[in-house]
Structures are given as structure tokens and as C-alpha cells.
Structure 1
Amino acid sequence: MLNKLSIKAFNHVALQVSDVERSAEFYAKALDLEEIAIPAFDYPVKWFSLGANRELHLIGREENGASTGIRGNHFALEVSDILQAEKHLQSLGIAYMPIKLRPDGIKQLFLTDPDGHYIELCEM
């Protein structure tokens, strides 16, 4: 049974890294992770399979070391109906960023917890 947000599964964790290529080599070798195809992002990124449709996303940090907001560290939960999830957040008065499309057409929205950690909700 789905909850009020229609969460289906954990989807991915994203880590902001200083050097995408160096980090990708580490995760590929140290953890024997398989690199997977990515959409056409306009910033450095590599994705790896964690099995069972779960992924690790390595995202390049801005050169000045500043946080890249939603492109930084976050985790993502797959929902079956992003509009239902949005209505639930609205009903609770929880702030979130508007629904947008990733370059591969996946619908996503972001919210933050009380400590400012980003949470992505995505509809596959």
C-alpha cells in the first residue's frame, strides 16, 4: 500500500564531488560498480548502478567549491504520482520547488528538510 505521497521506492543518492572522473574511477574500482548511461546534463556527472533500479549519481562541484543546491548531495524517492505528492505537500504547507523535467523527461520536484537537506521526488 502506498503512502500519501505515493512513494514507491528509493531511487538514487547523489553526491557532490570535486573531481567527477577521479570519483568515478574510485567507485568503479573500489566498489566494482557499473557505470550507466545518463541524460544530456550541462554539468559534469556520472551515474552508477547500485542494483535493483537504484543508482549512485556523482555530480561535479562548482569550481569555487560553492554548494550547487539541488545538484549537490540529495536522495531521491520514486513516487507513482508526482501531482498527488505535490498536493500532499501543499496541504501541509510544505515549501518545495516546482515540478520540472530532467533532460530525460523524468518529472521531479525538490523539497528540503528542516536542516536544509535536499530530497527529490521523481515520477519515472
Structure 2
Amino acid sequence: MDNKLSIKAFNHVALQVSNVERSADFYANVLDLPEIPIPDFDYPVRWFSLGANRELHLIGREENGTSTGIRGNHFCLEVTDILQAEKHIKDSGTEYMPIKLRPDGVKQLFLTDPDGHYIELCEM
């Protein structure tokens, strides 16, 4: 099977939470997940290891409770070549957000599935 997006691995799942500290306490102390360092984001976030280079990202929900788009619930697939992935998505006629850099320099782009679920592609 030809992998036109150059998907390398499942990278992370992100959950939008109402209280990052309370949720972080749950994942650290109830599920015993090890916390991992995060880039310097300008919003509340905590990251945990799920093992085998997979992560859980907890992202603070906006005060008004509305969806925060890409900062909300999404999953991320790591690709080996984000430019190749972008070309394939563009050629398919699918709308997406242009490649941008995360605060730690990781290249990422976002698209949505037919039901509006966000999917992140990243190149580490």
C-alpha cells in the first residue's frame, strides 16, 4: 500500500479540558502517567507520556466553553515529509490550514474530516 502522506506514527491525542491542573492531577496520580516537558505555549497546557513516543496533551478550554478549534480535541499523526503530505492534501482538494511552526519548532498543519474533527499532521 502506497502511503502518500508519509505517515510515520501516531503521535498524540489532545483533549480540551475545563481545568488543566485538575485534569493533570488525575492523569498523573490516578493513571500514573509521567509528565513530559512542553514548549512555551501562550495558553494552559500539560503533556503526558503514553509510552512508545505517544503523548496525551491536555489543553485548557476557553472560559466561554466554546470550541477552541485546533487547540481543542484532535489527534496527531507524525509524517516523514510534511511538504509531501501538504501536496497530497492540496491535490485531493481538501481544505487545510497552512504549515506553521509550533513554539518548539515542530512543523504542523491541520485539516478536518467530513464531520469537522481536527487532525494534525506534524514533522518532528
Q: The residue matched to 1:4 in structure 2 has which SS?
A: coil
**TM-score in terms of structure 1 length:** 0.98
Q: Distance in 2 between matches of 1:9 and 1:81?
A: 12
Q: Which amino acid aligns with 1:90?
A: K
1:47 corresponds to: 47
2:93 corresponds to: 93
After TM superposition, give the deviation of residue 39 of structure 1 in Å: 0.2
Q: Distance in 2 between matches of 1:11 and 1:67?
A: 22
Q: How many residues align?
A: 124
2:10 corresponds to: 10
- Structure 1 alignment gaps of length 5 or more: none
Among all aligned residue pairs of Structure 1 and Structure 2, give the percentage whose two residues are the same amino acid.
85
**TM-score in terms of structure 2 length:** 0.98
Q: Report the aligned-residue RMSD.
A: 0.9
Instruction: Show structure 1 runs of 4+ deviating over 3 A.
Output: none
Q: Distance in 2 between matches of 1:38 and 1:15?
A: 15
2:62 corresponds to: 62
1:84 aligns with 2:84: yes
- Structure 2 alignment gaps of length 5 or more: none
